[in-house]
Structure 1
Amino acid sequence: MTKDPLSSENFDHRDDEIDLKELIVALWQGKFTIIAVTVLCTAIAIAYALLAKEKWTTEAVITVPQVSDYTAYQQMVNEFQPLFDVYHNDGTVQFGDKLNGFIASGNLFAGYIQQYQSRANKKAFISSFPEFQMERSTLQKKTKVENYKDAETKLYNEWYQKLVANVVNSKSVLVSYTLQGFQENAESSFSLLNGYIEFIEMKAQNIALANLKSVVEGKHSELAQQKALLVDQAKSRLQSERELAKYALQIAKAAGVSQPQQNLGNKELFAINIGANALEAKVKVLDSLSLNQLSIIEPRLQMIDAKLSLLDILKVDSAVSFQTFRYIESPEKPLGRTSPKRPLIAILGVLLGGMLGCLIVLVRFAFREK
């Protein structure tokens, strides 16, 4: 049985098909609607671009310092090196490595980055920044007392995001970081980042000096304890030598041995082989020794006294000038804002308006056809 070409199925199929020419005609007929929607969206986009807060970014790139950046600091640290060396009786010297970390460029740089990313340091610097103080003052006036603490915390968190440090090439031998400061104008952005970099540099320097001072003071305490122990040992040994010499003198006199004798051993508890005359002189010498001469009994006291004397001369100079990082790119005032991108926003507004206008016209056309 053949199908009727005028059947309802064929008519439905034709109704579902949309002629491209009809769409173009429909769009042309709705051109004023498309233009109106495009103008409206463009106006909204331009208004947003003009009213949105501007964002200006100041950048700096820093890396590990070179030796020339902290020469004075390195020289000061090296002056304390003899305190940590071990001097043996055979004349050899075992160099200590406890101070090596203080003059390692990587450690100085890591200390700076750690201080830069510290929220406590950011809060301390931001609290003194004029623009933040103005915002906090405005917030305090507009916010209820019971809600002010949470609002202030939120404000601080927003400002924390304005100071960031991102690693550039951590896998490279020469590690570097990009430091960024965000503000609503070029001048404020530059002041924020540059001021914070200098603030953290001072913090990092003070911490490096404080750590060195702590180690030196610890060494001073260690040497003082060693000296006290050796002095007690020397006193005990001196007293013991005095008693032994006196008893040996009594024995030598009783034995009638006044001159040195070769056939008498010197390994006895009370050795009399040197004779009574020599023992009597020995007793006088031992009795005349003072506390300042204990190094004769304990030679190690000489080295400890020398190190303590060096500590009396050397001091950690808090005014020493050095850098814990080196600039690859120093901060400069930005020439253009980071956002909003007003031309781009306007173009997107035109495109969105045109697409939305066309959609409205086509939807109206589809409902009219049905």
Structure 2
Amino acid sequence: MTNNNNVVTRSSDSEQIDLIDLFVQLWRGKWIIAVFIAIAIVIAGIYLVFAKEKWTSTAIITQPDAAQIGSYSNALNILYGVNAPKLTDIQESVISRYNASFSALSQTLKNKLVPEKLTIEQTVKGQPLPLSISYVNGSAETAQKQVAQYIQQIDEQIQKEIEVDLNDNIKQQIVTLKDVLSNQETIAQEQKDLRIRQINEALKYAEAANITTPKIQQTQDVTQETMFLLGTEALQSMIAHESSRPLTLSDSYYQNKQKLLDIQKLKIDPTSIHAYRYVMKPDLPVYRDSPKRSIVLVLAVLLGGIIGSGVVLGRNALRNYNARA
């Protein structure tokens, strides 16, 4: 038992002596370590001077409010009436189009010869809105201005797309309504021609029966078969009246006519339409993304100290090896 305790004690003493010796070696080589640390700090300083800075400006947007797409919504109501999409559907549709166009722009900038980092993503994971838009640049002010410019650029693009869509829909609706009105006029003309032919047939029967004056008292009881009983004089008068009388058109005809006039007068200012609303305008970044001075300097000190310590210990180990040899 005593021997075992002595062995453990000697082993601990040996390890303690080695650890103390290690610290002594490092202390004696402190100037070498300090030189390596200084060199690492100088290199880190040079890196900080010449390294390209990165600043990120962020904006948060959401779907436009009712006022921002009011003219667009009104135009759709005029175009489609009761079949027009709801305001909430229009808001969702517009912001979805904005998101898609912005994502396309982000990919385009990423594939440039000198890539630009522009991102659009969900602010809260799992929720489609609001959207967070970020842009990285070497200057804080430039990053803020550039992200605002890209947001406005896509908004103007959406304005033009909506204007083109509306104009195409207006043209299509005008053509459709004109066709409907033309069909209704054709049907009304055919009904008028049919009425005149029916009266002419009744006139032939009246002339054949030599009936010149009405033979019935209640005209509301007259049918196609008994119309000849009105007599030739009345029938000739009816033919003249029917020929000069305007077409008898239904209420739907005039409703379609009114709708056509409204659509033909429909004009919309695309600049009054906006596809987004700011929740937070582009901020001016206070802290840059990289390089981080404090982190770089701390890493420089650590790396310089490690390399310097390695040189000191390695040099001493080499001396001891040569001495034993």
Superposition TM-score tier, normalisation by shorter sequence: 0.7 to 0.9
Instruction: Give the structure 1 partner of residue 30 of structure 2.
Output: 31
1:300 correspondence with 2:252: yes
Q: Is the 8 A contact 1:248 1:271 kept in 2?
A: yes
Identical counterparts, % of pairs: 24
**Counterpart amino acid of residue 168 in structure 1:** T
TM-score, scaled to structure 2: 0.80
Which is worse superposed, 220-229 or 188-197? 188-197
Larger Rg: 2
**Among residues 74, 81, 88, which one is paired with 2:77 in the alignment?**
81
Quote the Cα distance in structure 2 between the aligned partners of 1:353 and 1:169: 42
SS at match of 2:113: helix
1:95-138 Cα distance to aligned partner (Å, 9 max, x none): x233436973222222222222223x986xx8xxxxxxxxxxxx
Instruction: Give the structure 2 partner of residue 353 of structure 1.
Output: 304
SS at match of 1:117: helix
Instruction: Give the structure 2 partner of residue 311 of structure 1.
Output: 263
1:194 correspondence with 2:152: no
SS at match of 2:42: helix
Which is richer in helix? 2
1:344 Cα shift? 1.7
**Counterpart amino acid of residue 352 in structure 1:** L
Instruction: Give the structure 1 partner of residue 198 of structure 2.
Output: 244
TM-score, scaled to structure 1: 0.71
1:335 Cα shift? 3.3
Quote the Cα distance in structure 2 between the aligned partners of 1:110 and 1:328: 17
Q: How many residues align?
A: 310
Superposition pairs of residues 6-21 of structure 1, within 5 angstroms: 19-21=18-20
1:36-74 Cα distance to aligned partner (Å, 9 max, x none): 222222222221121101112222111222224444x25
1:126-183 Cα distance to aligned partner (Å, 9 max, x none): 8xxxxxxxxxxxxxxxxxxxxxxxxx96425x02x2x22121025448x112222222
1:155 correspondence with 2:113: yes
**Among residues 327, 332, 341, which one is paired with 2:292 in the alignment?**
341
Q: Is the 8 A contact 1:266 1:272 kept in 2?
A: no
* Residues 56/264 of structure 1: CA separation in 2 closer, same or farther (3 Å cut): closer
* Residues 112/263 of structure 1: CA separation in 2 closer, same or farther (3 Å cut): closer
1:363 Cα shift? 4.1
Q: Is the 8 A contact 1:170 1:176 kept in 2?
A: no
**Counterpart amino acid of residue 169 in structure 1:** V
In structure 1, stretches of 5+ residues that fail to align are 1-12, 86-95, 127-151
Q: Is the 8 A contact 2:78 2:263 kept in 1?
A: no
Instruction: Give the structure 1 partner of residue 6 of structure 2.
Output: none
Quote the Cα distance in structure 2 between the aligned partners of 1:263 and 1:336: 95
**Counterpart amino acid of residue 350 in structure 1:** V
Q: Is the 8 A contact 1:252 1:272 kept in 2?
A: yes
Q: Is the 8 A contact 2:58 2:133 kept in 1?
A: yes
* Residues 278/300 of structure 1: CA separation in 2 closer, same or farther (3 Å cut): farther
1:282 correspondence with 2:238: yes
In structure 2, stretches of 5+ residues that fail to align are 1-10
* Residues 153/202 of structure 1: CA separation in 2 closer, same or farther (3 Å cut): closer
1:298 Cα shift? 4.8
